[in-house]
Amino acid sequence: MTVTNEQKTKLVNQAKVAYASAYAPYSKFHVGAAALTAQDNIVSGCNVENASYGLTVCAERNCIAQAVIGGEQDFKTLVIYTEQEKLTPPCGACRQVIVEFFEPQAIIMAVNHLNQSKTWTVDELLPSAFTPKDLI
């Protein structure tokens, strides 16, 4: 699935907007995410922490959930935005959810406030992943 430079720019901008809405009073680690669906719609999400830390939901999973709520389950790419100098890949739980909805060669991109970026394929983030194809 092809993603244009214009779409990438829009994704980064939407991830920045989502970042500004993050609820992270405990870690102070704000994250925004934006994904491009197969229908070329952009959905976004931010991390939402909870005093019971295990109930925290990451930006990537909130972003994907927004699309699913809207009736979309296929994605082209996902952008993660933070204001960290070290570019931030998705956590393990997010990688597993990403594998559920993205093709193995889909691009996942981390971007920061310094306009640095790093990309991975889904397969690079979670090689030999457990997927629906593994279910009997």
Per the CB < 8 A criterion, the answer to whether 113 and 129 are in contact is no
Indicate whether 89 pLDDT > 90. Answer: yes
Look up the domain containing 49 and give its range: 5-123
Max CA separation in the chain (angstroms): 46
- For 95, the 3-state DSSP assignment is helix
Where in the sequence numbering do the catalytic residues fall?
Answer: 60
Of 114, 67, 58, residue with least CA distance to 89: 58
pLDDT the model gives residue 136 = 76
Indicate whether 84 pLDDT > 90. Answer: yes
Under 8 Å CB-to-CB from 57, ≥6 apart: which residues?
A: 47, 48
Share of the chain above pLDDT 70, in %: 100
CATH of the domain at 113: 3.40.140.10
Task: Look at residue 132 and tell me if it is in a domain.
Answer: no
Mean confidence (pLDDT) of the chain: 96
Task: Look at residue 104 and tell me if it is in a domain.
Answer: yes
Task: Look at residue 16 and tell me if it is in a domain.
Answer: yes
pLDDT the model gives residue 50 = 97
Residue 9 has phi, psi (to 5 degrees) of -60, -45
pLDDT the model gives residue 63 = 97
pLDDT tens for 31-58 read 999 999 999 999 999 999 999 999 999 9
What DSSP line would sit under 58-76, residue for residue? -HHHHHHHHHHHTT---EE
Split at pLDDT 50, 70, 90, the class of 2 is confident
Task: Look at residue 17 and tell me if it is in a domain.
Answer: yes
Task: Look at residue 106 and tell me if it is in a domain.
Answer: yes
